[in-house]
């Protein structure tokens, strides 16, 4: 097991947002987390990546407890999140944003190889490497956020809503790229509103409702599940 989340409780002030989440990810998988707005998907990812601290529960990554580590240490363990809302540094160039993603890197040759790989995955970023990130289109900023996360050579990549606000053609492209990233050996946890596309891509999925996991299954089974179809796949 690469990632093991056990009985995770998280509070914002006095209000508990996660009420005991259990979630497992095997090496090589794409696992998706589905749920309505406010279900706690982002909170789950932010807690795994160390940006929020649980009030109860544990997170183990490759046999190590990471819930006690500060976020920058979690990054050094090769667990990286690409945040929602394409939080790129808008006054820095594409190249400079990518460099920041490699802040833990010790081997310049490896950084160069990774950069080359990211430019193959996203040729658009290569064309625009000197452009200020704030002037990129929404889709390009999303590519940059993912590229920046990949600069850390993560073993596991947490993606929060990579298709948010993108035109359908770009949604398809982003999902294809996520498949390619996974084929290259990166385990992926994917939070998505676009449930159908996410389940087609993923091996397994979890469904969250108001701070709890209410269903977990193989992606094919979730795609065929009547209550999932009704709630998340537009019925039918």
Q: Which residue has the tokens 């093991």?
A: 4
Minimum gap (Å) between residue 214 Cβ and ligand ATP: 13
When the beta carbons of 121 and 159 are compared against ligand ATP, the nearer one is 159
Task: Tell me how crowded residue 94 is: count the other CB atoms within 10 A of its CB.
Answer: 28
Would you say 46 or 121 has its CB closer to ligand ATP?
Answer: 46
The smaller minimum CB distance to ligand ATP, of residues 38 and 123, is found at 38
Determine the longest span between alpha carbons in the chain, in angstroms.
52
As given in the structure block, the two tokens for residue 154 are 């993560």
Nearer to ligand ATP by C-beta: 39 or 174?
39
3-state percent breakdown (helix, strand, coil) of the chain, nearest 5: 40, 25, 35
* Beta carbon of residue 193, minimum distance to ligand ATP (angstroms, whole number): 6
Spatial strand order in the sheet of 64-65:
15-25, 3-12, 56-61, 64-65
Cβ(158)–Cβ(189) under 8 Å?
Answer: yes
- CB of residue 196 vs ligand ATP: minimum separation in angstroms? 16
Shortest distance (Å) from residue 122 CB to ligand ATP? 24
Angle at 149 between CA 144 and CA 152, to 5 degrees: 130
* CB closer to ligand ATP out of 35 and 54: 35
Q: And the tokens for 226?
A: 């009547």
CB of 16 to ligand ATP, least distance (A): 9
For ligand ATP, the binding residues (CB under 6 A) are 12, 17, 35, 37-43
Backbone angles phi, psi at 129, to 5 degrees: -65, -25
């Amino acid at each position: 097991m690469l990632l093991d989340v056990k009985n995770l409780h998280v509070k914002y002030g006095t209000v508990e947002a996660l009420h005991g989440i259990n979630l497992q990810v095997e090496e090589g998988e794409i696992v998706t987390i589905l749920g309505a707005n406010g279900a706690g998907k982002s909170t789950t990812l932010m807690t795994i990546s160390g940006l929020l601290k649980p009030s109860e529960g544990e997170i183990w990554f490759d046999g190590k407890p990471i819930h006690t580590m500060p976020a920058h240490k979690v990054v050094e363990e090769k667990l990286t999140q690409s945040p929602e809302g394409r939080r790129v540094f808008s006054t820095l160039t594409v190249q400079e944003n990518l460099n920041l993603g490699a802040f833990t890197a010790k081997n310049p040759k490896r950084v160069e190889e990774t950069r080359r790989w990211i430019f193959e995955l996203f040729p658009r970023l290569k064309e625009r490497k000197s452009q200020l990130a704030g002037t990129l289109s929404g889709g390009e900023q999303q590519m940059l956020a993912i590229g920046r996360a990949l600069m850390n050579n993560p073993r596991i990549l947490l993606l929060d809503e990579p298709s948010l606000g993108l035109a359908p053609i770009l949604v398809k492209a982003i999902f294809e790229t996520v498949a390619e990233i996974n084929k290259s050996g990166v385990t992926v946890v994917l939070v998505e509103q676009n449930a159908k596309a996410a389940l087609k891509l993923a091996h397994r999925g979890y469904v969250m409702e108001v701070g709890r996991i209410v269903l977990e299954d193989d992606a094919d089974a979730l795609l065929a599940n009547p209550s999932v179809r009704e709630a998340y796949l537009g019925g039918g």
